[in-house]
């Protein structure tokens, strides 16, 4: 679709907005609708649109499959390590209360971190699967 001007222009306009909206859903999830799962799929959808319009090679220059595979594990690790951090500080596993200066601040920090972990894993899993699917078409 590289040579069709309308999809190209529309995609260039919309992809930054989609990615920004994903980040908004991610970090505003404490106050409005949304959270890690939603943010992850929206971010991945923006990435998929980029790949559809500009081609797999361009997308792989942004984030190669090797990078995506590492990031899949990083998200889950961030989630699990947040739980371990709580244990180190004297709480129970995934008890965020001890992470901050006071329990409520700790809850906020813990929720932010684990939602980020969820978002990272969801987005990179979808992007990775999409790469694998598209890569097969050409093999």
Residue 107 touching another protein (CB under 8 A): yes
Q: Distance between CA 31 and CA 93 in Å, rounded? A: 25
Q: Distance between CA 27 and CA 37 in Å, rounded? A: 12
Residue 94 touching another protein (CB under 8 A): yes
DSSP string computed for 25-57: HHHTTTTSS--HHHHHHHHHHHHHHHHHHH-HH
Touching another protein, residues 45-64 (CB under 8 A): 45, 48, 52, 60, 64
Question: Kind and range of the H or E element at 18?
Answer: helix 5-27
Residue 33 touching another protein (CB under 8 A): yes
Binding site for another protein (CB under 8 A): 25, 29-35, 37-38, 41-42, 44-45, 48, 52, 60, 64-67, 69, 72-73, 75-76, 79-80, 83, 94, 96-97, 103-104, 107-108, 110-111, 114-115, 117-118, 121-122, 124-126, 128-130, 132-137, 139
């Amino acid at each position: 679709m590289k040579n069709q001007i309308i999809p190209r222009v529309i995609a260039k306009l919309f992809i930054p907005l989609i990615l920004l909206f994903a980040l908004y859903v991610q970090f505003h999830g404490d106050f409005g609708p949304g959270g890690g799962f939603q943010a992850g799929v929206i971010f991945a959808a923006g990435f998929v649109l980029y790949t559809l319009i500009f081609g797999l090679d361009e997308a792989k220059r942004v984030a190669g499959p090797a990078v995506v595979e590492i990031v899949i594990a990083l998200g889950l690790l961030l989630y699990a390590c947040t739980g371990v951090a709580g244990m180190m500080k004297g709480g129970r596993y995934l008890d965020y209360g001890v992470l901050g200066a006071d329990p409520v601040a700790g809850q906020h920090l813990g929720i932010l971190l684990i939602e980020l972990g969820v978002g990272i894993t969801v987005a990179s899993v979808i992007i990775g699967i999409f790469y694998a699917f598209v890569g097969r078409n050409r093999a």
